[in-house]
Amino acid sequence: MLKIGLIGAGNRGKDIYANFILNSTDEAQIIAVAEPNKIKREQVISAHNIKPEFSFSTWEDFLKKDKFCDAIFLATGDDLHFEPITIAMEKGYDILLEKPMSNKAEECVKIADMAEFYGVKVMVCHVLRYTPFFSKLKELIDSDIIGDIIDIQHNENIGNFHFAHSFVRGNWRNSNESSPLILQKSCHDLDILSWLLNGSPCKQIASFGSLKHFKKENAPEGSSTRCLQCSLIDSCIYSPKKIYYNNIGSWPTLIATEIQTKEALTNSLEHNQYGRCVYHCDNNVVDNMVSIIEFENGVNVTFNLCAFTDEVCRTIKIMGTKGEIRGNDLKNNIEVYEFGKGQGRFDNGAITTITPEVLIGGHGGGDTGLMNDFIDLCLGKKNDSKTSPRTSLESHIMAFAAEKSRIEGKVININDFINSLR
């Protein structure tokens, strides 16, 4: 039985990873928790029957003790990864590390180096590699059905309400406190692009983006700084009535209040950040961004990241010398076009529609695949994983370089950027 300690009992730590252990496997158990929020900590203690001596209010108290379990789920805030993971690796813990690895590029490099130095098993939570959807895309690319890849267009459609919740009101609204948008939200996307291209390194990157809409000057006339006191609450696109009151017991209301009742939600929104007007927050992350990426293998990629979408999904178009692949992960639909095999006037391509298998779990089944892989790795059923820190470092470097390009208005050479970190 794999014994696991949870450091950080937020949505990912408590509601996803710990709940998976509770409900979906008999090979592991949560035996300890470190969480400063008393309500969340007690929820984990109750659900997992954790003994009092293994309940901690801080990660420091957890890691002061000699090693007492096999592995750790490290799901603290983006800016609170480096110090605890350093100590945990020194003590010999295997670790599931929430992405991003760190909100500092230098620390990401050090984490990859330390994981190899200490010889511990570390996985980064890049869940898209474990989804049937992206696994099928990679299988198709590797089969040579569309020939050599020339160009990829990839879109991260964040969703207007998702962006307002997470990146205007929420924990990742301000890059000075957490991470740039492209790192926090889209190291996933940059990682999956690298994986689809068989790990070809990025050569150079240029990015453009800004915070255009969620600013004080765009607030509707007559709006209030807090939603529950606003006369526009029934008509506003980002009204908490639409985002939170309609989702009690599920995301994103699980984030907005610790207790899932209407009364508790109202009380929370009267005081916390999720009750603030989206035009009167302290957010500074961009709400739109486009990156142009050249990989060492010659493939060019355009990556579009935008708040202003209806659906919350990823769409992709992969263009090769013998055909084209189009996909939508929300619709779980992939279309393959093979050039020269049709019957049209210009010999239009034959079209094959593929529906990948469906797995239970968030991120299109990726959460389930990730958790099973981590457990197998820790139990010695396999020797490596798809998401080691060294592998995941590539996407993080691309994200930091993209943000540097956006801010400085210049193309970033990746080798030069990496050398500047050493």
pLDDT score, position 155: 98
Is 389 a residue whose pLDDT tops 70? Answer: yes
Vertex 115: Cα angle to 176 and 36 (nearest 5): 50
What confidence tens digit (pLDDT) does each residue in 52-67 have?
999 999 999 999 999 9
- What residues contact 118, with CB distance under 8 A and at least 6 apart? 89, 90, 92
- Residue 343 and residue 24: Cα distance in Å, rounded? 49
Q: Name the pLDDT band for 351 (thresholds 50, 70, 90).
A: confident
pLDDT score, position 342: 66
Strands of 211-281, DSSP E: none
What confidence tens digit (pLDDT) does each residue in 156-188 have?
999 999 999 999 999 999 998 889 999 999 999
Q: Name the pLDDT band for 347 (thresholds 50, 70, 90).
A: low
Q: Which residue, 40, 337, 386, 404, is CA-closest to 188?
A: 386
Check: CB of residue 169 under 8 Å from CB of residue 236.
Answer: no
- Average pLDDT on 102-127 reads 96
pLDDT score, position 205: 98
Q: Name the pLDDT band for 341 (thresholds 50, 70, 90).
A: confident
Paired tokens of 340: 């020269």
Choice among 126-135, 136-145, 346-355 with the minimum mean pLDDT: 346-355
pLDDT score, position 348: 64
- Residue 292 and residue 148: Cα distance in Å, rounded? 19
Is 345 a residue whose pLDDT tops 70? Answer: no
- Residue 92 and residue 374: Cα distance in Å, rounded? 16
Q: Percentage of the chain surpassing pLDDT 90?
A: 90
- Residue 185 and residue 128: Cα distance in Å, rounded? 12
Q: Which residue, 282, 291, 312, is CA-closest to 172?
A: 282
Q: Which CATH code is given to the segment(s) 2-125+368-387?
A: 3.40.50.720
Query: Using CB atoms within 10 A of its CB, is residue 175 exposed (0-12), middle (13-18) or buried (19+)?
Result: buried
The answer to whether 2-125+368-387 and 129-214+284-361+392-421 have equal CATH topology is no
Is 216 a residue whose pLDDT tops 90? Answer: yes
Instruction: Choose between 248 and 350: higher pLDDT.
Output: 248
Is 329 a residue whose pLDDT tops 70? Answer: yes
Q: Name the pLDDT band for 350 (thresholds 50, 70, 90).
A: confident
- Residue 109 and residue 408: Cα distance in Å, rounded? 22
Paired tokens of 422: 């050493």
Q: Which residue, 181, 390, 129, is CA-closest to 287?
A: 181
Q: From residue 417, how far is each of 62, 297, 344 by CA, in Å?
A: 36, 19, 49
Q: Cα-Cα-Cα-Cα dihedral of 247, 249, 255, 258, to 10°? A: 130
Query: Side chain identity at 260, as an amino acid letter?
Result: Q
The whole-chain average pLDDT of the chain stands at: 94
Sign of CA dihedral 414, 420, 421, 422: positive
Instruction: Delimit the domains of the chain by residue range.
Output: 2-125+368-387, 129-214+284-361+392-421, 216-275
Q: Which CATH code is given to the segment(s) 129-214+284-361+392-421?
A: 3.30.360.10
Q: Name the pLDDT band for 318 (thresholds 50, 70, 90).
A: very high
Whole-angstrom Cα Rg for the chain: 22
Terminal alpha carbon distance of the chain: 40
Paired tokens of 342: 């049709």
